Amino acid sequence: MTHSAARLGIGGPVGSGKTALIEGIVPMLMAQGIEVAVVTNDLLTTEDADRLKRKGFLPAERVIGVETGSCPHTAIREDPTMNQLAVQDLELLFPQLDLILIESGGDNLASTFSYELVDAYMFVIDVGAGDDIPRKNGPGFVQSDLAVVNKIDIAPYVGADLGLMRQQATQYRQGKPVVYTNCKTAEGLDEVVAFIQETLLFGRQMGQPSTQPSAQPPSTQQTSTQQTSTQQPAGQQPATENLIGSYS
């Protein structure tokens, strides 16, 4: 039976702290022995993927940047093919993976993930965007499996009422979980990791803790859509090549 890694979507507006959240939780997951990889989405660049690669906590081969070329939510909801192919490549190259994080490109409050792509998703907002965000009742924030209110440390400096946000987030999410985080100090990140463990990994401790996951895929495989596509007739390019282009 082919092993399939759990898939967690991470959505939210531009600048809400999605990538910073990944930078915080991945080392924590790795310390528990969880084998992790990441797919990022950007409109016309691989900026977020490049940022994660520079951090160095994961081998570069475990981070794939997808250039969506269109509205970010299209690639995670209406037509998630590009992301599904990226996940397929990671699972083929690293069959030991337990978890793949899929970060959406920055979008609006209506952005939700297709459950054909992910098993669960979280939606990240930040205090600096205003304390009225929870009561705007955006589908991304309200419907997500976990809501993350990030940058709680800046509330006093932007005139945001964090107490009001806590009250209204609970009200509009009707009891679904909400976590309040400061990625600079790691406040609240343990709750995010606990959610992942309970919801997707079922509290598993995956072997011995590892801070240096293997970067070496099988020698016969490469990180490209062509290698994971079905074999094509000579001289014919795979149809998927034009969908994703290079992962960088």
Binding-site residues from annotation for GTP: 12-19
- Output the known binding site: 12-19
Rounded CA separation 116/31 (Å): 29
Sequence-distant (6+) residues with CB within 8 A of 235 are: none
Q: 123, 142 in Cβ contact below 8 A?
A: no
Through-space distance between the first and last CA atoms of the chain, rounded to whole angstroms? 30
Laid out side by side, the sheet with 6-11 consists of: 63-67, 36-42, 99-103, 6-11, 120-126, 146-150, 178-180
Alpha helices in the chain (DSSP H): 18-31, 47-55, 81-93, 139-143, 155-158, 162-172, 189-196, 225-228, 241-244
